[in-house]
Amino acid sequence: MLSIVLFLYGLSGTIQIIPIILSAVTLAGFVAIEYLFASDPIIPLAVLQSRGILLSCTAQLGFMAARWTVLYFAPIFVLAVRGLPPTVAGAVLIPTNAGFGTGGLVVGWLHVRRAGSFWLPSLVSLVFFGLSLSTLSLLSNAAAPAWLYVSVIFLNGFATGAALNYTLAHLLHLSAPESHFISTSLLATFRGFAGSFGTAIGGGVFARTLKDALTSGYEDLDGEGLGPSRRELITRLIGSPALVFGGDLSDAERAVAVHGYEVSLKVLYRSAAAICILVLLVQAGTGWAAPATKEEEEEIEEALAEHDGTMEA
């Protein structure tokens, strides 16, 4: 927990290297204690040594962090760029949550009806998820048709629901039956942490980009350096997107603010899509082979013993 808090603190605002390094040190210390010294580890050694389980959990962290950029910033887009009231802005989450439920149900009903490897479907669903984020980066502007934006939001939720089902089923395939309760709990823990990662890191990227865009826009508008009133306005716009249309801004000032939010959302979703490329590579690294059962391991050991005896003779 301390490692996660330090990491998020280092990336949430201005990037700070020392907390990030400390988070890596504390994480390495935890793993070393679990692996070398603990007589009864919190996480069994078989799980810590499983490439498939650890990579699955890591991929879920990045995947769900990218998903949270949609859940957190889609209402901000509707509020600050479209100029709709807060009640309507929140309603944009209805289609993406409907897609989320539909994707999970459809995949579970039509495909995840057996035990086994779902390596390729997991990758395909993650690819569609990343493509939906890339499309959102192009549609997060005032000129995009509303129906198209809502459609992509729905498809993003659909891909999320499908990917969650596929990756869970594949994790069960990669882990031994006796460790399923540990591996699934670990996966759920990483998914839970992903919300904090998505909002903290994504919020940092968004806020830094928005500040730069607003500063540049108002400098061009005024034709000179920013005065105290302009700096205060920028701070207020970053903290409250409702001020773009609900504040006392002139048409020119509002145009700069809307453009700033458009640029920030584009950078945010492109960054999330780039993370999805890393997620795809990590998920691919989980492999598709199930672990050997105890009976298979005993047979292998017996075969090796017989082979050694034959070689000695």
Question: What is the mean predicted confidence (pLDDT) over 255-277?
Answer: 95
Least confident of 27-31, 122-126, 227-231: 27-31
pLDDT tens string 146-168 = 999 999 999 999 999 999 999 99
pLDDT tens string 45-62 = 677 778 889 899 999 999
At 313, is the pLDDT very low, low, confident or very high (cuts 50, 70, 90)? very low
CATH fold of 49-312, please?
A: Growth Hormone; Chain: A; (1.20.1250)
pLDDT tens string 83-106 = 998 888 889 999 999 999 999 999
pLDDT at 288: 84
Question: What is the mean predicted confidence (pLDDT) over 61-73?
Answer: 94
pTM for the model stands at 0.86
Q: Which amino acid is at 90?
A: G
At 311, is the pLDDT very low, low, confident or very high (cuts 50, 70, 90)? very low
Q: Which amino acid is at 120?
A: L
For the chain, which residues make up each domain, given as ranges? 1-42, 49-312
Residues 114 and 108: their CA atoms lie apart, in Å, by 10
pLDDT at 176: 87
